Amino acid sequence: MLDIRLFREQPDFVKEGLLKIGVAPATVDEVRGLDERVRALKTDAEAKKAQLNSANKAMGKASPEERETKRAELRAEGDAINSLDAQRAEIERELQKRLLDIPNLPHEKVPVGKDEHDNSVVRTVGTPRSFDFTPRPHWEIGEKLGILDLERGVKISGSRFYVLRGAGAALQRALITWMLDIHIEKHGYTEVYTPFVVKEECLYGTGNLPKFADNLYHDVEEDFWLVPTAEVPVTNLHRDELLEASALPLHYVAYTPCFRREKMSAGRDVRGIKRGHQFDKVEMVKLCAPESSDAELELLLDNAEDVCRALEIPYRVVLVCTGDKTFSSAITYDLELYAPASKGEEGAEWLEVSSCSNFRDFQARRANLRYRPEPGAKPEFVHTLNGSGLALPRVMIAILENYQNSDGSVTIPPVLRPYMHNRVLITA
RNA sequence: GGAGAGAUGGCUGAGUGGUCGAAAGCGGCUGCCUGCUAAGCAGUUGUAGCCCGCAAGGGCUACCAUGGGUUCGAAUCCCUUUCUCUCCGCCA
């Protein structure tokens, strides 16, 4: 959520930023109009309340007869105030609704663009391997090796679900443990294990609600929502807290499954395991002081890249443009692993395995995440960041396709072997 | 799941209709004092919003888990929800 004061004090700045992400400048004027009406009603009601309060105080000392005569009058005044308050509350709700619906302003570094074609490739690392045979897509490799069972996934849970089996399941588990270990031991993050279901208010905190409810699963009877990413529970860990400056920055890493309805992407990426309703992810989340969030993002990105480098799979870093950035993010780098056959007949593609974002105070304001810059100073909102490190299915795809051999076997990347009983090869 | 108890400021804890934004203690901060180290004395100390003022500062409003209700007036009475604790049941 954007600061309402920004609308009051720098409306043109807000309009300019919103224009870049396709939000009509008129929105700013509408918000300001609502805000002014709320404040006018509030000032009016407060003045009347002050009068009534002192009249009520006098009643305490008044004689019973005096009370009788004044009672009706005071009651009428109270009713008048209540109706002012009711009006104000309604406009305030409308204002709040509008504010919750407005995306974050883009960081000054974000290139202006319409969609993902306008994203800019920051760097490409590694060279795609050249094959002396036609590389197969992961679903063929996996099914032939008996480590991926798409059909039975569909049988037990429906489309966009799959089953990993034997070395496939072990490979994923090895990846999770290995990635956690890198971030914990090498990059200094604190591991957290969180619930995989959260309350509705957490999703408001990160910005998934109210706008993106149709991509979330939730229990119909309880206030339980399946997490679409560990970002949600971990960012909300310190919700409604006032942190000391010395506690920052906080660096967390968490493994969770992620649940997404993928309603909007019906028909996209239907082959293989690229896009499912359930997938696993290791996620890094940071809370820091505003002045260090730019630097923290670069570090976060490097921490995620470190995983790609260690896997020795070519990848590229993409700076996401204004038209493609997500609702809550101010700036996002995507990390894409090379997959030589992921598009089947059409060949290679770059698979998005990580999104590293700085949300600045956008989520912090929604989730009420504050810190005290100095002892005695006024509390301020922290900045929040997060980045995948990394998303499992697509890493699995990249490993299967990049490390495949002509006989259909798959070589296990060297860094993962200690996590797989020193196994070197996955064979049928 | 059943029965009961509870939720007050940074913490402990008093407060059952008006003088309560809330006693007291602890903690924090400021000053004073003392050669027996940490104590004594005094003062001060919640959050947010709005308004006035160049400022220092001042005023008003709201907040005693949450949301409603009763009342001229609610921390206090009634109801809802959430959470915590105790006992019972069930259980990896």
Nucleotides of B under 7 A from a protein CB: 18-19, 47-51, 60-62, 71-73
Q: How far apart are CA A159 and CA A277, in angstroms?
A: 9
φ, ψ dihedrals at A325, nearest 5°:
-70, 155
CA→C1' distance for A243 and B13 (Å): 26
Q: Are A189 and A316 in the same domain?
A: yes
Domain boundary among the residues A42, A66, A100 is at A100
Q: pLDDT at position A141, please?
A: 97
Check residue A182 and give its pLDDT: 98
Where a domain ends, among A69, A100, A131? A100
Contact A372, A243 (CB under 8 A): yes
**Which pLDDT score, from 0 to 100, does residue A222 have?**
82
- Could you say which of A59, A75, A100 is where a domain stops? A100
* Residue A219 belongs to some domain of the structure: yes
- Distance between the alpha carbon (CA) of A365 and the C1' atom of B86, Å: 39
pLDDT score recorded for residue A23: 94
Q: Report CA(A145)–C1'(B34) in Å, whole number.
A: 84
A77 in the same domain as A121: no
Question: Within this chain, do residues A353 and A239 fall inside the same structural domain, yes or no?
Answer: yes
From A239, A275, A372, A423, active-site residue: A275
> Is residue A244 located within the same domain as residue A169?
yes
- Asked whether residue A48 falls in the same domain as residue A126, the answer is no
Residues around strand B, C-beta < 7 Å: A 39, 42-43, 46-47, 49-50, 52-57, 59-60, 67, 71, 74-75, 78, 378-379
A30 lies in the same domain as A87: yes
Would you call A39 a catalytic residue per the annotation? no
- Give pLDDT, residue A58: 86
Pair (A331, A401) in one structural domain: yes
Residue tagged 């922290």 (tokens) = A382
Question: Domain containing A179 — which CATH number?
Answer: 3.30.930.10
The verdict on residue A110 lying in a domain is: no
| Half-sphere exposure (Cβ direction) of A390: Cα atoms closer than 13 Å | 31
> In sequence order, what are the residues at sequence separation of 6 or more whose Cβ sits closer than 8 angstroms to the Cβ of residue A191?
A180, A183, A184, A252, A253, A254
Helix, strand, or coil (residue A288)? strand
Complex ipTM, two decimals? 0.84
Structurally, how many domains does chain A consist of?
2
CA distances from A198 to A201, A229, A237, A384 (A): 8, 11, 11, 19
Q: Could you tell me which of A323, A340, A339, A319 has the C-alpha nearest to residue A331? A: A319
A394 classed as catalytic: yes
C1' (B49) to CA (A4) span, angstroms = 13
In a domain, A35, yes or no: yes
Rounded to whole angstroms, how far apart are CA atoms A76 and A85?
14
Tokens of A328: 């809550």
Instruction: Specify whether A309 is located in the same domain as A398.
Output: yes
Domain that includes residue A14, residue range: 4-100
For residues A189 and A138, give the distance between their C-alpha atoms in angstroms, rounded to a whole number: 32
Same domain membership, residue A157 and residue A91: no
Q: Which of A88, A136, A260, A366 is catalytic?
A: A260
Tell me, yes or no, whether A109 lies in a domain. Answer: no
Q: Per the domain annotation, does A8 fall within a domain?
A: yes
* Gap from A17 CA to B40 C1', Å: 61
- Among this protein's residues, is A130 annotated catalytic? no
With 0-12 / 13-18 / 19 or more C-beta atoms within 10 angstroms meaning exposed / middle / buried, residue A246 is exposed
Mark whether A355 is an active-site residue.
yes
At A371 the pLDDT is 85
Q: Are residues A124 and A82 in the same domain?
A: no
Whether A136 and A59 share a structural domain: no
Q: Are residues A126 and A75 in the same domain?
A: no
Within-domain flag for A350: yes
> Which CATH number belongs to the domain containing residue A80 in this structure?
1.10.287.40
Q: Is A160 a catalytic residue?
A: no
Kindly state whether residue A105 falls inside one of the protein's structural domains.
no
Residue A266 lies in a domain: yes
**CB count, 10 Å around CB of A428?**
9
Do A172 and A280 contact (CB within 8 A), yes or no?
yes
Task: Give, for all 428 residues of chain A, the pLDDT tens digit.
Answer: 898 888 988 899 999 999 999 999 999 999 999 998 998 898 899 999 999 998 888 888 787 788 888 888 899 999 889 889 888 888 988 898 899 999 999 999 999 999 999 999 999 999 999 999 999 999 999 999 999 999 999 999 999 999 999 999 999 999 999 999 999 999 999 999 999 999 888 999 999 998 999 999 998 888 889 999 999 999 999 888 888 888 889 999 999 999 999 988 888 888 999 999 999 999 999 999 999 999 999 999 999 999 999 999 999 999 999 999 999 999 999 999 999 999 888 889 999 999 999 999 999 999 888 888 877 677 888 999 999 999 999 999 999 999 999 999 999 999 999 999 999 999 98
